[in-house]
Amino acid sequence: MKIGTPKEIFEGEARVAMTPESALQLQKLGHDCVVETGAGAAAGFDDASYKAAGVEVVKTAAALWKAADVVAKVRAPNDAELKRLRADQTLISFFNPAGNTVGMEAAAKKGATVIAMEMIPRISRAQKMDALSSMANIAGYRAVIEAGNNFGRFFTGQITAAGKVPPAKVLVVGAGVAGLAAIGTSTSLGAITYAFDVRPEVAEQVESMGAEFVYLDFEEEQQDGAATGGYASVSSPEFREAQLAKFRELAPEVDIVITTALIPNREAPELWTEDMVKAMKPGSVIVDLAAEKGGNCKLTVADEKIVTDNGVTIIGYTDFPSRMATQASTLYATNIRHLMTDLTPEKDGVINHDMEDDVIRGATVTHAKEITFPPPPPKIA
Ligand code: NAD
């Protein structure tokens, strides 16, 4: 089969779904590879590096979509790309199926198969294909770097001839994949790091990374993640009040707040209120990784950086992985390559789209002229 990667057309998107290295691995599965000219340029991979890896380079998106049996890309296809999809072609991409019925209908009508990367089941066997996690990891790291870039002081404390410098205090709200990456980055830069999550089972992980888990003065336990399949659900009003009271206490003390709190299929919970922003010191920085889902901070503006009247910088960028396009592309292309390995069990360049396989079934949102989203729950953990 021929695996093809077009240049991303979403404005500002710098990632690419195939790298020269992943192309070499795809060829070992018996596939041929093709990219549109310039597909990897914004991520640091030029046409020559693809050619050196045995990849065909074609001049236009039209030629790419025509040549490829499997199209691998990053962003959900737009209308023009959906029009290019054809029967018996497979598209592997982020697709936002829950909010993209129109896209699924268009693909199913054509008889194309769509594998949505955000639907890869989060089971151990599929971790190597879990693009949500690989991108969240980058976002968490980059959030701290972005905060540091907008913060006028060191992270680590220092005693220098010119005076004593106190360490910065960082609070990370939400300790999922992105939150844990932010915690690791913050502690490794030497900041005093606090972290809060509604799931108490992450406390040990937080503490093992050198951060302090924030407990609430609340008689009931924090939410039991095991009861919700590892994900958070909406907190009770009493719990939420206790959480906000704790954050109000911390607001004047912390220099940097990184918020990552999300609940699947809902708007982000609002956890950092206007009065908390007002209580922060001038020069403090908030990075709101939940900006795309409405933000955890009341004042966040998606895709923008604002500075409040009291001198607090609030960053609501939604493109953190794209800001590290080389690294993000390398990891995303590897996620796709692993998926292709499962789709090519005989390593003979022939795809076996096995709808009995939990991972493939879970991520397939259109197949054989049907919409196959949402999938049944996975049989294995
Ligand atoms: P996410 O991006 O959906 O949410 C981020 C974090 O926000 C979560 O830790 C959540 O508990 C937290 N949160 C929600 N509401 C909050 C609130 N009010 N206050 C504070 N924190 C709040 O999470 P994620 O990174 O996708 O991970 C969620 C779960 O999925 C975890 O249990 C994780 O271990 C699991 N996971 C499993 C796999 C795998 O097995 N392959 C891969 C990735 C994640």
Q: Which long-range contacts (CB under 8 A, 24 or more apart) does 54-59 make?
A: 54/23, 54/24, 54/27, 55/18, 55/20, 55/23, 56/32, 58/34
User: Quick check: CB of 182 below 6 Å from ligand 1?
Assistant: no
> Which residue type occupies 44?
G
Which runs of consecutive H residues, i.e. helices, occur in 2-130? 20-28, 47-52, 61-67, 79-84, 101-110
- Per-residue pLDDT at 224 exceeds 60: no
Q: What is the pLDDT of residues 54-113, one digit of tens each?
A: 999 999 999 999 999 999 999 999 999 999 999 999 999 999 999 999 999 999 999 999
Separation of CA 180 and ligand 1 centre (Å) = 10
Q: Are strands 56-58 and 163-165 parallel, antiparallel or unpaired?
A: unpaired
Q: What is the mean pLDDT of residues 253-282?
A: 96
User: Quick check: CB of 122 below 6 Å from ligand 1?
Assistant: yes
Residue 344 corresponds to which tokens in the numbers above? 């090519």
CA distance readout (Å), 158 to 139, 146, 184: 28, 21, 20
Spatial separation of the C-alpha atoms in residues 75 and 196, rounded to whole Å: 31
- Per-residue pLDDT at 286 exceeds 80: yes
Separation of CA 84 and ligand 1 centre (Å) = 36
User: Quick check: CB of 262 below 6 Å from ligand 1?
Assistant: yes
Which phi-psi region, left, alpha or beta, contains residue 369 (left: φ > 0; alpha: ψ -120 to 50)? left
The pLDDT-based confidence of 227 (bands split at 50, 70, 90) is low
Q: Backbone phi, then psi, for 88, in 5-degree steps?
A: 70, 5
Which helix (H) or strand (E) covers residue 362, if one does?
helix 358-363
- Per-residue pLDDT at 18 exceeds 90: yes
Q: What is the pLDDT of residues 147-205, one digit of tens each?
A: 999 999 999 999 999 999 999 999 999 999 999 999 999 999 999 999 999 998 999 99
Residues with catalytic roles: 122, 127, 130, 133, 231
- Per-residue pLDDT at 381 exceeds 60: no
Spatial separation of the C-alpha atoms in residues 76 and 139, rounded to whole Å: 19
Give the pLDDT of residue 223.
63
The pLDDT-based confidence of 231 (bands split at 50, 70, 90) is confident
Spatial separation of the C-alpha atoms in residues 270 and 250, rounded to whole Å: 16
Q: What is the pLDDT of residues 329-362, one digit of tens each?
A: 999 999 999 999 999 999 999 999 999 999 999 9
The pLDDT-based confidence of 233 (bands split at 50, 70, 90) is confident
- Per-residue pLDDT at 270 exceeds 80: yes
What is the secondary structure of 135-190 as a DSSP string? HHHHHHHHHHHHHHHT-SS-SS-EEETTEEEPPPEEEEE--SHHHHHHHHHHHHTT
Give the pLDDT of residue 264.
83
User: Quick check: CB of 198 below 6 Å from ligand 1?
Assistant: yes
For the whole model, what pTM was predicted? 0.95
Sign of CA dihedral 339, 71, 103, 12: positive
Choosing from 197, 236, 318 the residue with most ligand 1 atoms within 8 A of its CB, the one to mutate for a pocket test is 197
Q: What is the mean pLDDT of residues 235-261?
A: 95
- Per-residue pLDDT at 226 exceeds 70: no
Choosing from 198, 213, 276 the residue with most ligand 1 atoms within 8 A of its CB, the one to mutate for a pocket test is 198
User: Considering the chain, what is the average pLDDT of its residues?
Assistant: 95
Contact 260, 182 (CB under 8 A): yes
